[in-house]
Structure 1
Amino acid sequence: MDWIDLRLTRLMPADGRLLEGSHQSLSLMLLAFLLACVACYTVLEVIDRISQAEQPLSRWLWRIVGALCLGSGSWVLHFINQLPEAEYAPTTSGAGADFSSLCVATGCAFLAMLSISKGRTTAAWLFTTSLLISLSSGALHVFATAQNDQVIALLYSPVVLMAALILSSAFCYAALYSYARQQTQSPWAAWLSRITACVSLALAIEFIHSFGIQAVYARLPEAGQTDTLMGQSHMALIVSCLALLGFAASLVATARDKQLVTSQRDLHRVNSLLNQLDYARTSLQQAANYDVLTQHLNRRGLNLAFTEKLLKHQQGNTSLGVLVIDIDHFKRINDSLGHSIGDSMLKVIAERISSALRTDDVLSRLGGDEFCVLASLKSKDEARVLAGRILLAMKEPIVINGRHMVMTTSIGISLFPEDGNTPDELLKHADLALYQAKDSGRNQMHTFNSQLKAKASVALLLEEELHNALRNDEGLQLFYQPILDLHSGKLTKLEALVRWQHPQRGLLSPDRFIGIAEANGFIAELDNWVLRRACCDLSRLADEGHEQVKIAINCSALSLGRRELSQEVSDALLNFSVPAQLLELEVTENALMGNIEQAVDLLHELRTKGVSVSIDDFGTGYSSLAYLKRLPIDTLKIDRSFIQDIPSSHEDMEIVQAIIAMAHSLKLKVVAEGVESPQQLSFLSELRCDSIQGYLLSRPIPMQQLLSFLTDYSAEKSNLVGNSVR
């Protein structure tokens, strides 16, 4: 084909006329527009596929499909609109020219698809892409018209041409804007926006063609009358069917790809959920079976590992060692340095223990400062060797925040099958051995034996029976030991000492059951019983004519930390009509130091009510002047360990002398415990000790005997004491 003249002119030349006038069929024009709408809808579906494609090759393939749909839609609209009605001469070109026109349309559409598929929504992008689509459709129109065999030259009206481009670009802009908004709309609104977009895009193509026709004038060759062209509707139908088949195939492909992508996304989502579930299950198992601080097994994880390991040893008929490890005095670290330092120390301790173990040994943190080791062993001797390595590993100082601290451990050992056949039994027996190691001085190991089990059984039975004794108020008694005032020679005070008249075991001293009450959390109940019974006996003493005699009762560390103690003391004094000045609380130094701040406040409150306070067993605990001057106390009781070797021990004599002098300088009274000989009494009198108590005066006696003792206090003993005092 020879290229023809292309000119822009304002006036129609004398030898020119419109290439096409009003001879287009309305039905063909509607058909062309519907096909353009279908093509544009297909293009929008393809754009969706481009935006969702993950592989670059897939995106390029879908761009080509979109270019074919957009180009063929524009070409079909132009082709059908070129078909005249029957009474007009044909103006179409040949098959080769039509094919080249289709190629040009597809090429221009591909350029437009490159811009559309970027997926931007800015105004500049919308304008640029709209103009590109309009120009590509205009290029198709010019190229196709220029290939008409009857056209010698084309002359375009610039005004109409600009109007065509502006209207076409405006509809393209509206189409792209409507398509971009559907991403944030509801399904029905999104579907409506897509229909609006495809109709607007089809109108843009239609406007560029229709206005292009109105803008074109052509010089046609002189020709005579031509035969009427028949069958143009058949040609339009064939082209339409072929186009619809192509569009349908593209829509089916997009639907199939969309279904495939959806399936892949669902599969990916399911796999992601499964992976998250596996990770969550692993995390839960880690959290459920492992200690967060040390990353070793916790108690639950130990139970699972213990069951599995014990089963293997049962099947192989081999021994399994269980070592329960407790850090000595670890509570002091938390109380003095804080829990963060304590946690850091636990991590180091766990590493130390782990370094002493073998590869197949199992380490677990049971909780707090207690650990457990499961080890395949042949005998208890081998278990002791392993425990010795752990003790040795703990001897090195632990450096935390510049502080060098040495911690010791106590270890209890039990062995399968000698000491038990179940995890619970073996752990319980290892715990009993641990308690024995602690009672023996700590920083050592102890193996389980049958005596420990018997002792534990007795302790358990005593615990139950002591509960019943407190609940039923049966068997518990108060014994009293007189305290002599050395200045007046009178018995002015009594110390209340609890005893338990056991139905089978006889009279039990406090050391047999106080520890049980403390370990099992009902020492406060026992202290309250002693308080009420002492107040009751004070009331009885007053009725018997001994209204000036005071009673001192012991207060445990646990009770000293209870705010309820003050109210309990007030209630007991009120119920038995006893003056507060006749009651004295005895507390130990160690009990005070357990919670010094709260203890000071509580003792101040009690002293405000009139209750006096004394420090018992002075010299065996912290013995710090720093807290003595802070405490609201009235009396110091020198521990019997400093009295029993007088006068043979000069060191003890000097210590006692220093304590008495210090106490008097602090305006405190002094009571010496454990006085058993006249020589001790004479020495204490010379140092101007205020009071004494001990076997020289009397052993602890029950209330009925005490009344007789106070009444029958003999003149001979009074003279003996009086002479010693003088």
Structure 2
Amino acid sequence: MDWLGLQFITELPRSGQVILNCTHDPFLVLAAYLVACAASFATLDTAERVGHADNPTSQRLWRWVGAACLAGGLWTMHFIGMLAFQVPLEVHYRLPTILLSLFFAFGASLLAMYSLGQPRHTLWQYVRTSVWIGFGIASMHYVGMAALQSSAKAYYQPGLFVLSILIGIAASLATLSIARHLRDGSGMFHQLLKYATSLVLGAGIIGMHFTAMAALNLVVPVGSVLIAPSANNHLQLGLTVAVIMLLIIGSVISAALADKKLQNKERDLRRVNALLSQLDQARMSLQQVAHYDALTNLINRRGFNQIFAEKLIEKTTEGGMLAVMFLDIDHFKRINDSLGHDAGDELLKVIAHHIKGSVRSHDDVVARFGGDEFCILIGLREREEARHMAQRIMLKMKEPIELAGRRMVMTTSIGISLFPEDGNTCEDLLKNADLALYQSKGSGRNSLHFFSSNMKTRATLELQLEEELRYALREEAGLMLYYQPIYDLKTGQVTKLEALIRWQHPVLGLLPPDRFISIAENNGLIAELDNWVLRKACEDLGTLSRQGCEELKIAVNCSPLNLAREELADEIEHALRLAGVAPQRLELEVTENALMGNIANTLVLLRQIRALGVSLSIDDFGTGYSSLAYLKRLPLNTLKIDRSFIQDIPKATQDMEIVQAIIVMAHTLHLQVVTEGVETLEQYEFLERHGCDFVQGYLLSRPVSLEELLPVLHEINQRKHSHSVSPLSLARGITALTSPDPFPKSPGPHGGGSVVRPIR
């Protein structure tokens, strides 16, 4: 086979010709190997740049730079290898054929760079591409060999010829495979691995070249004139070309390294920008969380305070009015307790929508402070604008709301403070609006109130009383018990006493319970106060026992809040044991509303108290919402009729019928009946005539201290005439013993005996 003057398959002539022995210059062989290694390294480096380039233009640029570098390296390696080839005759090279070989080198290199630039290839694609690249490199070599001109004729050994092509294909496949794994690496190990790979690939390329050279045989016909080679500088030329190519390859590698650093900086900059963007989003999210309520999407207290401060500065500078409105949903806790917190959350969303829809514009600020508490900040021209808006909100709130399959109507209490009339700072205005809200809630709810200065005075006084009450409880200073007799109509004796608390304030004098009981309930002191009353009553009962009143009982009021505490039974047992008093001599009075508040838990606690031997009385009966179905299940001993049913007897016929019915019902349930607030002889005779068991009121005695009690009891008990009391003797006794109690009984526990002044 003859191609470009080269014999590939043709057998060597058997006679008449001379086969020349050729050698290679080892220094130029080493230079060719270094160029091949450098070209391999540059190829791997530029392949990374193609893979990491961010835009198609950069990818295309580095692909062409890599192809030119690889083609130049391969061709230079081949050129130096040819210069290293030493033939014992004169040789020349054809320039066009040399340039043609460079074309094949560039084509193979460009195909290699396109393949290296692809992110993923299958094994078959790698093999197919490697075959083409191998054939391209082999074509470059053998076309370059065809440029050699001499008197000898070139013959190639077929086996080594095929092997050289296979080595080129294998080197190409190795380059493609290794470059894929080196594309995404970094660090010192990655760089060392790239160096080692370059040495191996360089060996493969140089191996392919010298395998092809080993397949070459130069044959000179017999009789041909052998022209000795002229003096040449192949070594100097080869080294010069090697140095130039290495410099070019080094420049490409340096450019690739600089581009890599620049790209890393750009990537770092993008990462920093991405992080800054994420931080900005996180800041906005945190700001949303910090200044907005997650449930209703209204601003929260912190966001409201920030806007409020800005509005105050604006109004202070430019003039104008602001209104701060506190809103509290009436009886919202019942929704959470009965329907669950999820239903409560849904209700809050609806209410927030109602409030937001009731304000005038985006200039009005609506915030949720937490729970069921909302706050509105609006600009005003006159005071009545705030009232009209509050009324509009209250009207909107009365629209029925569908929730958990139920149709319900909610109401709200509103407190309003005005700038600059009620304060000049955010703190003062919010505090004053809260005081006005407290007034609205205390007035029966579903109402609105503007702040007034007397609210602040009252709040300051209550705060002071709270602090002094804590001190009085801690030091047991100033608190005392008064006792009001409870008269047994059947025996004509005082068999019970009701313990009523008083507070001897160091400045304000003797305070009635309605001045401090609500303070104790609102500030978590009621349990401690009730416990003090219980211990003191048991202690006084022990003192009375030692004075000859061994059968006397004492009734102690229990706050509704205290009745919900599981520790109450243990505290009662401890107080009785400490005072050495029998449990049967203690009676606990609870209101019917307290009993019905949580009937299941209350029933368990009452049974524990009854198990101790303590009697139970239901106080103020008729004023709450007792259920007779539950009433018969409660372990009660006594039922106390509220004084409101007695005060108009005998004038009120309807009240007389109600009292008769209560007495009959109580006896049917095997309960004893106590009627409080008995003021007149007519009331006494009516109750005695209709079977009432006990009476209590100013007709018998006002509440007195323990020191005054024994003479009062002795005088009342001396007026016994069989099973009745003489009206005349009662009247005379009352004139001598009773004087007006300055503290009429309050609706809550620990009250006095009556709200009506006694008979004189």
TM-score (norm 2): 0.88
2:398 aligns with 395
In structure 2, distance between residues paired with 1:616 and 1:630: 17
Evaluate the alpha carbon distance shift between residue 456 and residue 195 of structure 1 in structure 2; reply closer, same or farther with a 3 A threshold. same
Evaluate the alpha carbon distance shift between residue 89 and residue 606 of structure 1 in structure 2; reply closer, same or farther with a 3 A threshold. farther
> 1:624-645: per-residue Cα shift (whole Å, max 9, x none)?
2354355443333232223333
1:106 matches 2:102: no
In structure 1, distance between residues paired with 2:96 and 2:619: 121
Q: CA RMSD in A?
A: 2.9
Q: Identify which of 237, 245, 260 aligns with 1:258.
A: 260
2:757 aligns with none
Q: How is 1:155-166 mapped onto 2 (pairs within 5 angstroms)? A: 156-166=156-166
1:605 matches 2:608: yes
In structure 1, distance between residues paired with 2:128 and 2:421: 90
- Residue 274 of structure 1 deviates from its aligned partner by 1.5
In structure 2, distance between residues paired with 1:280 and 1:4: 72
1:274 matches 2:276: yes
- Residue 608 of structure 1 deviates from its aligned partner by 2.1
1:435 matches 2:448: no
- Residue 392 of structure 1 deviates from its aligned partner by 1.6
> 1:381-424: per-residue Cα shift (whole Å, max 9, x none)?
22211211111221211222332211111111111111111111
2:303 aligns with 301
1:245 matches 2:242: no
SS at match of 1:613: strand
Q: How is 1:532-551 mapped onto 2 (pairs within 5 angstroms)? A: 532-551=535-554
In structure 2, distance between residues paired with 1:165 and 1:708: 134
CA contact (8 A) 2:493 2:716 kept: no
Q: Identify which of 456, 461, 465 aligns with 1:458.
A: 461
In structure 2, distance between residues paired with 1:443 and 1:54: 67
How many residues are aligned here? 723
1:636 matches 2:639: yes
Evaluate the alpha carbon distance shift between residue 125 and residue 549 of structure 1 in structure 2; reply closer, same or farther with a 3 A threshold. farther
- Residue 492 of structure 1 deviates from its aligned partner by 2.3
Evaluate the alpha carbon distance shift between residue 387 and residue 472 of structure 1 in structure 2; reply closer, same or farther with a 3 A threshold. same
- Residue 650 of structure 1 deviates from its aligned partner by 4.0
CA contact (8 A) 1:289 1:301 kept: yes
1:189 aligns with 189
In structure 2, distance between residues paired with 1:635 and 1:223: 150
2:706 aligns with 703
SS at match of 1:696: coil
In structure 2, distance between residues paired with 1:491 and 1:15: 158
In structure 2, distance between residues paired with 1:413 and 1:76: 93
2:35 aligns with 35
Q: Identify which of 367, 371, 380 aligns with 1:368.
A: 371
Instruction: Name whichever of 549-558 and 414-423 sits farther off.
Output: 549-558
In structure 2, distance between residues paired with 1:206 and 1:667: 119
Evaluate the alpha carbon distance shift between residue 719 and residue 48 of structure 1 in structure 2; reply closer, same or farther with a 3 A threshold. same
1:512 matches 2:508: no
The code of the aligned residue for 2:517 comes to I
In structure 2, distance between residues paired with 1:614 and 1:304: 54
- Residue 503 of structure 1 deviates from its aligned partner by 3.0
> 1:412-471: per-residue Cα shift (whole Å, max 9, x none)?
111111111111111111111111112222111111112222222222222222222222
- Residue 673 of structure 1 deviates from its aligned partner by 2.6
Q: How is 1:129-144 mapped onto 2 (pairs within 5 angstroms)? A: 130-144=130-144
What stretches of structure 1 of length at least 5 have no aligned partner? none
Evaluate the alpha carbon distance shift between residue 156 and residue 453 of structure 1 in structure 2; reply closer, same or farther with a 3 A threshold. same
- Residue 601 of structure 1 deviates from its aligned partner by 3.0
SS at match of 2:159: helix
CA contact (8 A) 1:156 1:216 kept: yes
1:336 aligns with 338
SS at match of 1:716: coil
The code of the aligned residue for 1:329 comes to H
CA contact (8 A) 1:36 1:77 kept: yes
The code of the aligned residue for 2:294 comes to V
1:471 matches 2:487: no
The code of the aligned residue for 2:60 comes to W
CA contact (8 A) 2:593 2:626 kept: no
TM-score (norm 1): 0.92
In structure 2, distance between residues paired with 1:671 and 1:192: 103
In structure 2, distance between residues paired with 1:492 and 1:141: 131
Q: Identify which of 379, 383, 387 aligns with 1:384.
A: 387
2:45 aligns with 45
1:205 matches 2:201: no
CA contact (8 A) 1:64 1:110 kept: yes
Instruction: Name whichever of 322-331 and 224-233 sits farther off.
Output: 224-233
CA contact (8 A) 2:112 2:133 kept: yes
> 1:150-193: per-residue Cα shift (whole Å, max 9, x none)?
59987654433444445455555555555555578773322221
CA contact (8 A) 1:82 1:92 kept: no
The code of the aligned residue for 1:410 comes to S
Q: How is 1:341-356 mapped onto 2 (pairs within 5 angstroms)? A: 341-356=343-358
What stretches of structure 2 of length at least 5 have no aligned partner? 728-760
The code of the aligned residue for 1:196 comes to A
Q: Identify which of 314, 317, 332 aligns with 1:315.
A: 317
Evaluate the alpha carbon distance shift between residue 174 and residue 610 of structure 1 in structure 2; reply closer, same or farther with a 3 A threshold. farther
Instruction: Name whichever of 549-558 and 151-160 sits farther off.
Output: 151-160
Q: How is 1:78-157 mapped onto 2 (pairs within 5 angstroms)? A: 78-84=78-84, 88-89=88-89, 91=91, 93-120=93-120, 127=127, 130-150=130-150, 156-157=156-157
In structure 2, distance between residues paired with 1:212 and 1:18: 21
The code of the aligned residue for 1:277 comes to L
- Residue 38 of structure 1 deviates from its aligned partner by 0.8
- Residue 568 of structure 1 deviates from its aligned partner by 2.1
In structure 1, distance between residues paired with 2:571 and 2:495: 25
In structure 1, distance between residues paired with 2:245 and 2:440: 96
The code of the aligned residue for 1:356 comes to S
1:588 aligns with 591
The code of the aligned residue for 1:451 comes to N
> 1:612-665: per-residue Cα shift (whole Å, max 9, x none)?
222222332331235435544333323222333334434434444444444444
Evaluate the alpha carbon distance shift between residue 683 and residue 207 of structure 1 in structure 2; reply closer, same or farther with a 3 A threshold. farther
